[in-house]
Structure 1
Amino acid sequence: MASEEYDFIIVGGGTAGLVLANRLSEDPTQSILVLEAGSNHSKNIRVKAPGLFRTLVGSELEWGLKTEPQERLNGRRINLAQGKMLGGTSAMSAGLFAPPTKAMIDTWATLGNEGWDWETLEPYYAKVYTSPIIPKSLEKKLGVDGWETNRDEMAKGPVETTFSGDPLHPIREAWVETFKDRGYFMRDNPWTSGEAVGAFSLLSSSDPVTGEKNHAATAYYNPVKHRENLHTLTDATVDKVLFGDGHLVDTAVGVRYHSKTGMKTVSARKEVILAAGTLQSPKLLELSGIGNPDLLKRLDIEVVKEMTGVGENLQDHMLCYLCFEAVDGLETLDPIYRGESDAINQAMEDFEDGAGLLTSSGVLSSAYMPVIEHVAGHSWDVLRSVLEEHRPSTGAQPSPAETRDAAIYEIAEKALFDPNQPSASYLALVGQMPGLPNPITKRHPPPEPGSYITLSTIFTNPLSRGHVHIKARSVFEPPVIDPRYFTSPIDVEVFTQHMVYLHNLPKLPPLSSLFKQPLKPYKNQPRFNNFYTAMRYIQTSAISMWHLVGTCSMLPEDKAGVVDTRLRVYGVRNLRVVDASVIPVLPPGHPQSTVYALAERAADIIKEDHGLMTAS
């Protein structure tokens, strides 16, 4: 490194951090340092090939974090795979590039974040990705033939997207037609319309020519890594934000980090920006003396700023899936999952030509669905009763956390009773999901022979909120992560209703033509005959989608916010947080696109605040 002082220090070289590195280094007068705890694995075939993303889970390329035992999930500890490499979780994910919804993004502004709404953010989503060109001959196969526009003409950003795998795979058209027959068709491009309900073929953040996964390191970092003012240090674990002395005691002036050559400090002339993610950014704030004073004092950490919202408001998408045997001859990823040498060799050969099984994660189709499809009559009364019974109590002088929870509750309640807002998203995967590990041996059962289709439900609007907090002063000690999954009875009620419907989905034509009939469930998968058996199945089988947000929420201080609308940490100068942790309410789908867009807007805000040059 040319200097031990930089204008901006970015802690974390993941999805958001590399967007900032790219955009802030556009001004050649500014020096940027990115500190990343992991290494650069962009050339690793497991990272490059979307079809191999499962092999990254439990590897050295992720943090290996787990939740505390979850009471409502039979005491299970849930894996929370978060990328530990340049590109972060965008580099280890399945690469699903799903749209948000206008209504849910607008709730950010409703909560008190002026200027953070769909109208403001839509151009930033378009700035992130390049919309694929869809030939007229493929429109019906992809289920976009009814759209007014089948691509976003404004979208010409760094992240290449495509309909990965075989665009002619029969599940795409069958999926869309099945939902369309029941009145749930995405009428227009959700990226341009913000529409919230209906079925569609899912975009993947993959290069349409090479088939390789396109993540933050390949899209945002590699094209600019040779800029003289951009410096990146990998295998560097930041353990503390440093503050000044005297009148600068509330001003961030640098960071301390561990590297292969020992502990070092580096100074920031303008700002320290935390982009370490939902689980690591609050951890760094607490280690630096920003957080709940009771926790900090207990660990003998000097309090710089009392802030009880740090580490709170943790939310996540839970997923539960059902797997059924597919008709003979249907192309799936099952041979890869079973490790069949002939299939793997062929897939590797095809991948070199930008084709074949490894160019896709196998998740080809999605649908955003309201609960109205599944609840009627008496069930509506039950749902209304549960909502009223568990409405947050605020009292005469509510605390900031109580005020926040009440506001979020109102948002969720309104969405549930709106037929044009989803409470779940459904996914179709051409292949089998691995069974849960044996509770004694901790090993996953081997994949089954045959071809399978997995249908999944993701609960999009959870009311259950958890927290993440440090338990020791060492940065190398994992934090205590307790999402408190399904502690809200409303979550249990709504998610179970969706699972009951999902169980019936493969019986509906034309989707039913892709499954062996009568249905042949995956080994040991139960059949649902009522609401309660479905609920028990969720308790034993639901897992995380790794869509963790909210622990440094952008909210007003009277709602227990951690950062303001310019993403500055309240009461501290020259310190911002820019990553998924600032998202106050989790949008539907997959938040990768939202984190990119948020970081793009944050870069413009930072440039504006410091009068920096903006690229033409």
Structure 2
Amino acid sequence: MQAIYDYIVVGAGSAGCAVAARLAQDKQTSVLLLEAGPADKNIWIHIPIGYGKTMFNPQLNWQFKSEPEPFLNNRQIYQPRGRTLGGSSSINGLVYIRGQSQDFDKWEALGNEGWSWRDVLPYFKRSEGNERGESALHGGSGPLSVSNIRGKHELVEAFIGAANEIDVPRTTDFNGAVQEGAGYFQLTTRNGLRCSAAKAYLRSGLTGDNLEVQTDAHAMAVLFDGNKRAIGVRYRQGGQVKEARVNHEVILSSGALQTPQLLMLSGVGDAVALRDKGIKVVHDLPAVGKNLQDHLQSRLIYKCTKPITTNDDLRSWWGQARIGLRWIFRKAGPVAAGIQLGGMFARTSNEVNTPDVQFHFGTISADMTAGKPHDFSGFTMSVCNLRPTSRGELSLHSADPFAGPKATFNYLSTEHDEKTMIAGVRMARRIARSRSLSPYVADEYRPGFDIDSDDEVLDFIREYATTIFHPVGTCRMGPDEASVVDTRLRVRGVRGLRVADASIMPLLLSGNTNAGAIVIGEKAADLIKQDRGQENGRHISLTTMNSELTGELQ
């Protein structure tokens, strides 16, 4: 006998945990949350510095690769995605950034009514439990813990001082009224441990027995009836193929790489391409998989004149013991903060009104992100273009639901992106040569100070740049028929099916995307409840729902 639920959520990532938990706050509603990966029991998920351990762990990470990228010397770019409860929020760099208010106002300007900054701010506040407390822009009692980095680091202080020298002010809040500035990040941690979406939403007392979470449950297809209504999900668990049925809706929250893949496998996508793979077409929706966007980062690595880096801490047993003790007794240091301590949002020219590059400053260095630390004292400045104009596409390798998606990002395919990245590297060089930071610079390990012309810098970027892990946009939200979902996140052309994750973003946010994905899950739950209430003859406003749920968490 098949199990029947009111709602099925596919993917227990940043958005999926939020939407499932919020739906299940109605104790009369049954919700099934399916996660392809295992439960989040691995200790390295929860210790912030464990980022380096989960980055290449196939049990916790899908370890996708892009197709050869034509503008990055045909390199395949590694695409880590979370494969456990919490999704990528369980393996990411923990940085809490919302983006700029203008990002969401641009969404609305594209015709996405209800998604302006004014509309989404209540959801950011509702989700956030900032240790600094409640304010006009921050939530203090939400399930997602947001914490300050404990203590200061000599190198980060020098970096911030260097930023001041190039007229970037010091800031204590990248999520305040103005994003521009340099300072310490706030992190999604709680008492020195990671606060993933799973910990925030599935273990915070928001839900009861009416939320059923199944792990190691790999979704194979959404099931439709003859009227194009989603009626359930087929999935594999423990070597068995199972089906779960739904009374109301299926919500896809598998992320920007796997949600469009699942739609295509289910017969929703470009009809010609689907038939070519032998997939029965349910609805011809060519936009599925288009509009792929991501942040590209270029990492500049420096040898340090003093043995004060995390490389030095990790190189000796005494250093490891010291940082371990700092974590145990003070919940401070690299174990508690991971690898990204400081950051900067800046404008590469006076022609842009808001920051167009983001820096991540780490007191550690390695040939690749989260790789083995160098055997010298080193630190890293990573610069990324916040609003790339390059667009990629995701499609299927085959009709096999256990094969990875086929993604080409087309990184660095526009002149705008080339110029912004070159300008960002040059800004990093100015910081490295500043009065504040230059005393700590023994040498530029990569690319090397001899790489200086625009052509040489661009060659360096093409050879070494990589993702900073923020894919979005492949199920674009929009008011037009060419979009995948409407402004209420309903998949066009079918019934009873929504998407709630970063794939619906029409434009990439100016910063890390985890907080934004969680907000999409939060808002999706309210949209679903409101639409369900209207079906039952009850009018429920989003404003009222937001006020009620905020009150429940206080």
**Is contact 1:22–1:224 with CA below 8 Å preserved after alignment?**
no
Q: Which has the higher strand share?
A: 2
Task: Give yes or no for contact 1:11–1:36 (8 Å, CA) kept in 2.
Answer: yes
Asked whether 1:431 is paired with 2:364, we answer yes
Name 2:113's counterpart in structure 1.
114
**Could you tell me how far apart the structure 2 residues matched to 1:460 and 1:480 are?**
24
Residues 187 and 64 (structure 1), Cα distance of their counterparts in 2 relative to 1, 3 Å cut: closer
In the comparison of the two structures, how many residue pairs are matched?
Answer: 536
Q: Which residue of 2 aligns with 1:177?
A: 161
Q: Please state whether the residue corresponding to 1:426 is helix, strand or coil.
A: strand
Q: Tell me which residue corresponds to 2:537.
A: none
Structure 1: which amino acid aligns with 2:451? F
Partner of 2:480: 557
Contact 2:174 2:185 (C-alpha < 8 Å) held by counterparts: no
Partner deviation per Cα, 1:12-31 (whole Å, 9 max, x = no partner): 01111110121111100000
Instruction: Name the % identity.
Output: 30
**Match for 2:186 among 169, 179, 203?**
203
**Distance (Å, rounded) in 1 between the aligned partners of 2:314 and 2:260:** 36
Correspondence list, 1:121-520, <5 A = 121-133=120-132, 152=137, 154-164=139-149, 166-185=150-169, 189-193=173-177, 195-207=178-190, 210-224=191-205, 227-245=208-226, 249-330=227-308, 332-335=309-312, 338=315, 340-353=316-329, 354-372=331-349, 417-418=351-352, 420-435=353-368, 447-513=373-439, 515-516=440-441, 519-520=442-443
Secondary structure in 2 matching 1:180:
helix
Distance 1:227 1:453 in 2: 46
Change (3 A) 1:49 1:527: farther
Following superposition, the deviation at residue 349 of structure 1 comes to: 4.4
Q: CA deviation at 1:152?
A: 4.6
CA contact (8 A) 1:101 1:190 kept: no
CA distance in 1, matches of 2:457, 2:314: 27
Q: In the superposition, relative to structure 1, how do residues 567 and 153 fare at CA in structure 2: closer, same or farther (>3 Å)?
A: closer
Measure the CA separation in 1 of the matches of 2:228 and 2:403.
Answer: 26
Residue 501 (structure 1) shift: 2.1
Secondary structure of 2:246 counterpart: strand
Q: 1:36 is matched with which residue?
A: 35
Distance of 2:139 and 2:216 partners within structure 1: 37
Say which SS state the counterpart of residue 204 (structure 2) adopts: helix
Deviations 1:264-310 (A, max 9, x none): 11100000000011010000100111000110111121111111110
Partners in 2 of 1:591 and 1:159 — Cα distance? 14
Opposite residue 177 of structure 1, the aligned amino acid is: G
Question: Residue 336 of structure 1: CA displacement?
Answer: 5.6
SS at match of 2:381: strand
1:127 to 1:327, Cα distance in 2 relative to 1, 3 A: farther
CA contact (8 A) 1:500 1:531 kept: no
Are the aligned partners of 1:25 and 1:227 in contact in 2 as well (CA < 8 Å)?
yes
- The TM-score normalised by the length of structure 1 is 0.82
* Cα deviation digits, residues 575-614 of structure 1 (max 9, x gap): 0000010011001110111111121111111111112886
SS of the aligned residue for 2:194 comes to coil
Q: Check the 8 A contact 1:503/1:528 in 2, yes or no.
A: no
Distance of 1:431 and 1:188 partners within structure 2: 22
- How far residue 528 of structure 1 moved from its aligned partner, in angstroms, is 2.7
User: SS where residue 428 of structure 2 aligns?
Assistant: helix
Q: Which residue of 2 is the match for residue 392 of structure 1?
A: none
Contact 2:484–2:491 (Cα < 8 Å) also in 1:
yes
RMSD: 2.4
- The 1:122–1:594 alpha-carbon spacing in structure 2 relative to 1, beyond 3 Å, is same
Alpha-carbon displacement from aligned partner over 1:377-419 (angstroms, at most 9, x marks no partner)? xxxxxxxxxxxxxxxxxxxxxxxxxxxxxxxxxxxxxxxx33x
- What is the CA deviation profile of residues 525-580 of structure 1, one whole-angstrom value per residue up to 9, with x for unaligned ones? 4533221111111011101011000000101234x210000000011111000001
Query: 344-353 or 533-542: which moved more?
Result: 344-353
One-letter amino acid of the counterpart of residue 306, structure 2: D
Q: Deviations over 1:482-509 (max 9, x none)?
A: 0011111221122112112212211113
**What code does the residue aligned with 2:11 have?**
G
Counterpart residue number, 1:49: 47
- With over 3 angstroms needed to count, the CA separation of the structure-2 counterparts of 1:192 and 1:347, relative to structure 1, is closer
Change (3 A) 1:201 1:288: same
Conserved in 2, the CA contact under 8 Å of 1:151 and 1:189? no
Amino acid at match of 2:42: N
Which residue is 1:142 aligned to? none
| Cross-structure match for 2:517 | 595
* Alignment partner, residue 96 of structure 1: 95
Task: Output the TM-score relative to the length of structure 2.
Answer: 0.91
In 2 relative to 1, CA 61–225 (structure 1 residues): closer, same or farther, beyond 3 Å? farther
CA contact (8 A) 2:108 2:114 kept: yes
Q: Which runs of 5+ in 2 are unaligned?
A: 534-539
Gap regions ≥5 residues in structure 1: 135-148, 374-416, 438-443
Deviations 1:443-487 (A, max 9, x none): x7x643332221110111111100111121111111211001111
How far the C-alpha of 1:186 sits from its partner, in A, is: 6.1
Gap change, CA 1:66 and 1:526, over 3 Å in 2: farther
Q: Indicate which of 497, 512, 530 corresponds to 1:608.
A: 530
Instruction: Give SS of 1:520's match.
Output: strand
SS of corresponding position for 1:372: coil
Residue 58 of structure 1, aligned match among 56, 59, 64: 56
Return the offset for 1:337: 5.3
